[in-house]
Structure 1
Amino acid sequence: MMKNNLSGWKNVYSFTLNQVLKGKAYRISFFIMALLFLASLPVASMLLFNNTGNGDDTSPIKKVYVNNMTSLEISFEDVKSMSPFKHIMFETVKGDYNFLVNHVSEKERTSVILDISEENGAYILHLSMAKDGPVKDIHIQSLGDALSKSFTNRRMASLGIGSEQLSMIQTPVEYKTTMTDNAGAEVIEESTAISFSEYWFAYGVLFFVMMGTVLTGSQVATSIVTEKSNRVVEYLLTSVKPLALMLGKVLAMMTSTLIQMLSLVAALFASNMISSLYTADGGTLLSQLLPDDMFANINIINFIICVILVFMGLLFYAVLAAVAGATVSKLEELNEGLTLFTLSTLVGAYVGIGAIRTLMGSGMNAYVIFSLLFPLSSPFILPGAIQVGRASPLIICIAVVLLAAFIVLLFRFAARIYEVLFLHTGNTIKLKQLFKISKDSV
């Protein structure tokens, strides 16, 4: 019986997928998103590193006006011995300070002002430059680092502290606190909390999957309601069963969404590789902004598992959207009909967001495990949790089984009611009526 009800779904699938992929709206939106993903990281690299040059490049700063408000006598010979700064003139401030500030801002834009002051036992070095002049923040930073190092060496020399003693003073002190049991053995407590970077990575994966889910569900529901309102469905049902029509449309929309999602992931990887052309050391942007061990758990096996989980999640929510869309007869009523789908998506997403925040704050606990297993939220949070190493194989297996069970139950429910829904015209069918139709169809 089920086999007869599904007869013809492949034809519906191929026809619907072909129509979607040929659609102008799909192609234009896909092109725009792919272009944005490709350009995002290179543009960010250009904005972050556009002023970065080689460390041996000559600084555009021509003169430094020194406003020394301390009792220290400072020489800048060691700074002038450095290749980028050997041409710089250091001149003590004479005359009106405010006049000098205006002069540098308006006329002598290749000069900077160095203020040296003492406050609460600490020395403060402050560099000022002309706004929108040839001297940029990166040049001030480079000169500031050289001045700070020179100033520290001068201070230590005046105190009789040599380079070896200074190195010893500046050596970081590492310590470790351990707990032991009554026998004196160390008690190891491994933290399961995620870092701030891992939090945003998992959050980004959740948001990406949620957008794919909403896109697929809305496309499925809109397609079904459009055909019902145009009476096209009456012609389709002469050769294809309602359940086969639903399955074909659901899988076609899922395929088109997965093509977009996987292509955008590939575009992001390509964008990251292109970003290396604009960084200071030739490394990719993400490698510089994120910790080295951030992607330690990303491998082909975990990626395949994540794709399977996303596919199952899309299937579950797409069938739910198909059922919800078939409860209405007009496009104007679609928002009302999709209430159940929208609420389910929001519940799953917010449970996942809460779990990610809990992971960052306190690590694994009962709530996080529940969110990883709960079929409404597992498609959103589990892929990110796998990639940051917070989902064990046992949890993954249980989550997949539970999600598969929910998909089977939802599909059986849809099989009982879908023929009635597809032929229904009139007021929106409520949830209570759906269960009544399902009960009468047994």
Structure 2
Amino acid sequence: MKNSIKGWKDIFSFTFIQGIKAKSIIISTAIMCVIIIAGVPIASLISSKSETKKTSIEEVCIADMTGIKIAKDFDILKNVKNDDETENMYSKIKYTELDSQKLNIDENTGLKDIYKFDKDSKKVYLQITYLEDSFDIEVIYDGKGKLESEDVNNYSDFIKDNFQKILMKNMSVADKDIEIVNSVNTINYCNIDSVKDENNNTDASLNESDDKLNSDKLEDDNSSSNADGKHSKGKYNILYTMLMATLFILTFCGERIAMSIITEKSSKVMEYLMTSIKPMAIVVGKVLANLLIIGVQVGLIAISFITAIFVNISITGEKLPESLRNILSRNNFDSANVLTILVSIILLIGGIILFSLIAALAGASVSKMEEMSEGIKMFTFVLVIGAYIALFVLTSNTYEKASVVKYVTMLVPLTSVFLTPGALLTGYLSAGLGVLALLVMIISNVLLVRFVADVYESMIYYNGTHLKLKDIIGISKQNRNGSKRRAE
């Protein structure tokens, strides 16, 4: 193997110098850096000029049906700070506890009979029950009053995100209480006028599973889903951004390698190189050179981002615009640690190497400049198939739940490079499966390197019509049979 890659350093240095000096590299990198440096302050200025978020909710009446007297602890929400340590917009809300014993509840009672609203009301009711090892909170408001559904929806999210603070204050958390504190809690909101005045399936005991008032028919658009909370959306944005960035890098790197080999093979440059350098050394040198070029670009983009933060602070006083703060929130990276970060980086590098080797094969399969599109087509086809499968898993939310499709996509190298790094950082994939995906990637690269080493020399010297995949496999079989005969 050492002899087959002898001379790779010369190819590496030549390719890197030529690549880093290329106008396309310089211009594209400069444009990205300028967009980042200018875009962050502009986004902050736009968001700062937009109307400050306020709430119209003035009073929250709590119907505590849990039996643990949790209503008295809601005042802690007034002290919750925003991410930028400012006072939250719900800090002025007045919390009052209802006497659940005096509520007019029986088997035939509807929500409108239980919860009354004044004209132009700005209050909501919180009905809290504890059923089947989880809390169920119904946020009820008057759709004919002064409150908008979006305002109530945002308040429901606020309660959801901070409900554990209320529980922590209510109880001294011992081992036996951990399960309750970490329970999956359901929080919904509803317009009281959208609920049918039918039997709400509530009896006087309020302790059995049919006590839940959310069994009434609610309008679909008034349901606040836990799975689609703001952190889930932030994690989705991270996964989508990483997928698109990876696709851009692989397209850029792979096409450069393929076009470079096609150009050199169709000219006398390749003939000159073959006199002193082994064909496999060309692949190794070009792949590593392009990896370094990408590393330089990523470094410059990171420097631009840091510069943008300082520029943004000097102009707006903020580090980042709100939209970026939501995406880069620590809650979105709750599973990130040294191991997952390291595995993610190595997976990305392994994926780039894998697709670079495929690009090198695609380039070597073409002998004439006129057939360049045919060579690029083979690489692009493999790349697009992998990206589209990963995109399907992402957009269909399959990545959120355990399924065969999810795990196959996260482990197969052609698709894992797009999703697995982001899934590791955001907690949708365990570190153990991440390490397994990395091992599969390494094994795939080793096997592909052996395959490329077996056929590449024959392909480089080949001058004829465009080689298809079956032709390349045929060359590999011929070379292996020839090696066996020589060994005998």
Smaller-chain TM-score bracket: 0.5 to 0.7
Superposed CA deviations along residues 126-149 of structure 1, whole A, max 9, x for unmatched, are xxxxxxxxxxxxxxxxxxx9xxx9
Q: How many residues align?
A: 327
Provide closer, same or farther for how the CA distance between residues 250 and 292 of structure 1 changes in structure 2, counting only shifts above 3 A. closer
Aligned partners of 1:196 and 1:360 also within 8 Å:
no
Does residue 200 (structure 1) correspond to residue 221 (structure 2)? The answer is no
Q: Equivalent residue for 1:225?
A: 262
Q: What secondary structure does 1:175 align onto?
A: strand
Q: Structure 1 residue 421 and structure 2 residue 459: aligned?
A: yes
> Unpaired segments of 5 or more residues in structure 1?
54-144, 150-164
- Is 1:192–1:363's contact at 8 Å kept on the other side of the alignment? no
Q: Which amino acid aligns with 2:281?
A: A
Q: 1:292 to 1:228 in 2, by over 3 A?
A: closer
Asked if 1:284 corresponds to 2:320, the answer is yes
Q: Deviations over 1:362-408 (max 9, x none)?
A: 53322112111111111110111122111211111110111111111
Distance 1:362 1:232, change over 3 A: closer
Specify the code of the residue in structure 1 equivalent to 2:318: G
The CA deviation string for residues 17-52 of structure 1, in whole angstroms up to 9 with x for no partner, is 122112233222211111112222211112222477
Q: Give ranges in structure 2 of 5+ residues lacking alignment.
A: 53-88, 94-117, 135-178, 186-225, 481-488
When the two chains are superposed, the root-mean-square deviation of aligned CA atoms in Å is 3.2
State the match for 2:287 in structure 1: 250
Q: Is the Cα–Cα contact under 8 Å of residues 294 and 388 in structure 1 kept in the other structure?
A: yes
Q: Deviations over 1:246-297 (max 9, x none)?
A: 1111111122123213432443354345434455x73521465445622444
* 1:216 alignment counterpart: 253
Do 1:326 and 1:421's aligned partners in 2 also have CA atoms closer than 8 Å?
yes
Letter of the aligned partner of 2:21 in structure 1?
K
Q: Distance in 2 between matches of 1:309 and 1:361?
A: 18
Aligned residue in 2 for 1:367? 405
- Kept after mapping to 1: 8 A contact 2:333/2:427: no
The residue that corresponds to 1:4 in the other structure is: 3
AA of the residue aligned to 1:15: F
Deviation at 1:310, TM superposition (A): 1.0
2: CA distance, partners of 1:298 / 1:326? 40
Mean CA deviation greater in 309-318 or 329-338: 329-338
Distance 1:31 1:283, change over 3 A: closer
1:315 counterpart (341, 346, 353): 353
Match of 1:16 in 2: 15
Q: Deviations over 1:315-373 (max 9, x none)?
A: 00000000011100223312211233212111211121122234378533221121111
Paired position in structure 1 for 2:30? 31
Matching residue's letter, 1:303: I
SS in 1 for 2:451: helix
- Indicate whether 1:261 and 2:298 are aligned: yes
Q: Secondary structure at the match of 2:241?
A: helix
Change (3 A) 1:30 1:228: same
Query: Which AA in structure 2 matches 1:428?
Result: H
For residue 306 of structure 1, report the CA deviation from its aligned partner: 2.2
Q: Distance in 1 between matches of 2:377 and 2:129?
A: 54
Give SS of 2:414's match: coil
For the pair 1:378 / 2:416, whether they are aligned, the reply is: yes
> Following the alignment from structure 1 to structure 2, what is the Cα–Cα distance between the partners of residues 342 and 31?
26
| 8 Å CA contact retained: 2:246, 2:418 | yes
TM-fit CA distance, 1:177: 5.3
CA distance in 2, matches of 1:360, 1:174: 33
Q: One-letter code of the match for 1:354?
A: F
How do residues 46-61 of structure 1 correspond to structure 2 at under 5 angstroms? 46-50=45-49
Is 1:239 equivalent to 2:276 in the alignment? yes
Aligned equivalents of 1:227, 1:419: Cα separation in 2: 14
Query: Following the alignment from structure 2 to structure 1, what is the Cα–Cα distance between the partners of residues 295 and 361?
Result: 21
What SS does the aligned partner of 1:329 have?
coil
- In structure 2, the residue matched to 1:405 is 443
Q: Secondary structure at the match of 1:173?
A: strand
Change (3 A) 1:419 1:276: same
User: Hey, what does 1:87 align to over in structure 2?
Assistant: none
Residues 54-93 of structure 1: CA deviation (Å, up to 9, x unaligned): xxxxxxxxxxxxxxxxxxxxxxxxxxxxxxxxxxxxxxxx
Q: Which residue number corresponds to residue 328 of structure 1? A: 366
Judged with a 3 Å threshold, the aligned counterparts in structure 2 of structure 1 residues 266 and 296 are, in CA distance, closer, same or farther, namely: farther
Identity among equivalent pairs (%): 29
Deviation at 1:203, TM superposition (A): 0.3
- Per the alignment, residue 68 of structure 1 pairs with none
Q: Which residue, 132, 139, 150 being the options, matches 1:179?
A: 132
> Which stretch shifts more, 394-403 or 296-305?
296-305
Shift of 1:176: 5.5
Which amino acid counterpart does residue 320 of structure 2 have in structure 1? T
Deviates more, 1:422-431 or 1:189-198: 189-198
> Deviation at 1:298?
4.7
